[in-house]
A = this chain, B = another copy of it.
Amino acid sequence: MVPRYTRPVMAAIWSPENRYRIWFEIEALACEAMARYGAIPEESARTIREKGDAAMAAFTQADLDRIDEIEAVTRHDVIAFLTWLAEKVGPDSRFVHLGMTSSDVLDTCLSVQMVQATDLLLKDLDALLEALKGRAFEHKHTLTIGRSHAIHAEPTSFGLKLAGHYAEFARNRERLLRAREEIAVCAISGAVGTYAHIDPRVEEYVAEKLGLQPEGVSTQIIPRDRHAAYFCALAVIASGIERLAVEVRHLQRSEVREAEEFFHPGQKGSSAMPHKRNPVLSENLTGLARLVRSHVIPALENVALWHERDISHSSVERNICPDGTIGLDFALVRLTGMMEKLVVYPDRMQANIESLGGVVHSGEVLLALARAGILREDAYRIVQRNAMETWTKLGQPDGRTFRENLDADPEVAGRVPAEVLDAAMDSRAHLRQLDHTYRRVFGETGPKSA
């Protein structure tokens, strides 16, 4: 992921330093377990832990260079690291990695990194949920037009719209928790996963210490359906980000102007057109969503590795693991800030509701006519005729509001009392079930109507 979309806190998880730190931890824990179960001397395990901890604490660029230097010869990253470690630990290093295979270290380390990254993403989601809830409560009773097909449908509240996004991100939080479970697994099972050279209790010990579950059957590697499922979760979350970003882009368009991204003092929207204030954050999020979503394909293609393992997944994961989590972390944080600072224009929302001359109440009028005993098919025809008449002449000299047209319609006049039509055209009536929905989504109804 390019630096522009990278937060250092997430990047650190994917740094070589963190990786080597986790590698050492896995090796040291495995030694402790092996010592406990009598496979290697207790004393050696202690030495490995102490000298290794010291080496990791003093880890610098020079160590990175040294490991790279060894890898240039061995062409094997784990062996390069173990060789470096042996230089630090001395003769006891012969007990390190005993009966293990590189995948034990690589895959368990990847699990730890993915768990760390996920925990950060969960915090991001919590902050986003908090922000959405705040705005949803703030605008619980802010009337706005609901739109289907981008055509005015019926009034709703802006808070309810946000509640829908809140509910989606709450589902996304659940999905991410499950995705975390998917990859929070540990494998220390040796070549082709038979535990031929290592006691399964070592795996259990390491897993417990690292907060992981031992893998059921690890065929040397942790099976990649887990990682595929993980990236699916990221992709669904990214798509939820896109949905909210697209909503903001729509609301900010010049003709709608119901909400706007915060525009910083000094900010310039366009080099050529000084009047511009563009929804660049939400557009940026739309693109980031595409990016994170695209990882799902190579992640799925990684599942069908050959026999007990092949390493084709590795070049994919070296990219999509950091890129996916860094990209999503950045996007979630950006989205949270954007939603917190979103400038909302209730007056414009009200004006837009009214801009179609009242036809947005056609559904309630239809019901009123039906209740008044007009056959549904006839009522539909009557209402459609008057709505279309209103719409077609909007803003024209001979244009009339929907109500005016209805009042003048002989099929309506005298059959439906004025107060019934009044009630049918009251936007506030559409908010009557808000408490029901808020309770379902937030577990509380939120602010009462003034």
Interface residues of A in 311-335 (CB under 8 A from B): 311-316, 318-320, 322-323
CB A327 to nearest CB in B, in angstroms, measures 8
Residue from B5, B163, B238, B315 within 8 A of A284 (CB atoms):
B315
Q: State in angstroms the CA–CA spacing of A395 and B250 once bound together.
A: 20
Segment of A42-50, A52-60, A217-225, A414-422 engaged in the interface with chain B: A217-225
8 A-B contact pairs sorted by A residue (CB < 8 Å): A1-B319, A151-B278, A194-B431, A196-B430, A232-B236, A242-B304, A278-B311, A283-B311
Known: A216-B167, A284-B314. A149 touches B387 (CB 8 A): no
Chain B residues, Cβ within 8 Å of A160: 193-194, 217
A26 interface residue per 8 A CB criterion:
no
- Assess whether A255 is in contact with B352, with CB atoms less than 8 Å apart: yes
Known: A196-B433, A242-B303, A297-B293. A147 touches B308 (CB 8 A): yes
Number of interface residues of A (CB under 8 A): 167
Interface residues of A in 384-402 (CB under 8 A from B): 384, 387-388, 390-391, 395, 402
- Assess whether A309 is in contact with B149, with CB atoms less than 8 Å apart: yes
- Assess whether B295 is in contact with A310, with CB atoms less than 8 Å apart: no
- Assess whether B194 is in contact with A151, with CB atoms less than 8 Å apart: no
A78 interface residue per 8 A CB criterion:
yes
- Assess whether B232 is in contact with A235, with CB atoms less than 8 Å apart: yes
A94 interface residue per 8 A CB criterion:
yes
Mask of A421-450 contacts with B, CB within 8 angstroms, 1/0: 000000001111100110011000000000
Chain B residues, Cβ within 8 Å of A300: 235-236, 238-239, 293, 296
Interface residues of A in 252-289 (CB under 8 A from B): 252-256, 264, 266-280, 283-284, 286-289
- Assess whether A287 is in contact with B307, with CB atoms less than 8 Å apart: no
Interface residues of A in 193-243 (CB under 8 A from B): 193-197, 200, 214, 216-217, 219-220, 223, 225-226, 228-229, 232-233, 235-236, 238-240, 242-243
Chain B residues, Cβ within 8 Å of A279: 149-151
A41 interface residue per 8 A CB criterion:
no
Chain B residues, Cβ within 8 Å of A82: 271
- Assess whether B75 is in contact with A268, with CB atoms less than 8 Å apart: yes
- Assess whether B197 is in contact with A367, with CB atoms less than 8 Å apart: yes
Known: A75-B264, A94-B370, A363-B272. A303 touches B236 (CB 8 A): yes
CB A104 to nearest CB in B, in angstroms, measures 9
Chain B residues, Cβ within 8 Å of A8: none
Query: What are the nearest 8 A-B pairs in CB distance?
Result: A146-B192, A275-B387, A287-B315, A232-B232, A149-B278, A239-B303, A274-B384, A275-B362
- Assess whether A272 is in contact with B303, with CB atoms less than 8 Å apart: no
9 A-B pairs besides A145-B254, A147-B253, A217-B440 with CB distance below 8 A are A148-B191, A148-B192, A153-B270, A171-B226, A190-B363, A275-B387, A280-B311, A287-B316, A294-B297
Q: Copies per complex?
A: 4
- Assess whether B151 is in contact with A253, with CB atoms less than 8 Å apart: yes
A73 interface residue per 8 A CB criterion:
yes
A249 interface residue per 8 A CB criterion:
yes
A290 interface residue per 8 A CB criterion:
yes
- Assess whether A319 is in contact with B2, with CB atoms less than 8 Å apart: yes
Known: A194-B433, A254-B356. A102 touches B274 (CB 8 A): no
Chain B residues, Cβ within 8 Å of A2: 318-319, 322
- Assess whether B275 is in contact with A156, with CB atoms less than 8 Å apart: no
Q: State in angstroms the CA–CA spacing of A367 and B190 once bound together.
A: 12
A166 to B, closest residue via Cβ:
B217
Chain B residues, Cβ within 8 Å of A247: 306-307
- Assess whether B391 is in contact with A275, with CB atoms less than 8 Å apart: yes
Segment of A29-37, A110-118, A119-127, A372-380 engaged in the interface with chain B: A372-380
Residue from B149, B296, B362 within 8 A of A274 (CB atoms):
B362
Q: State in angstroms the CA–CA spacing of A154 and B103 once bound together.
A: 15
A178 interface residue per 8 A CB criterion:
yes
Interface residues of A in 59-83 (CB under 8 A from B): 73-76, 78-79, 82-83
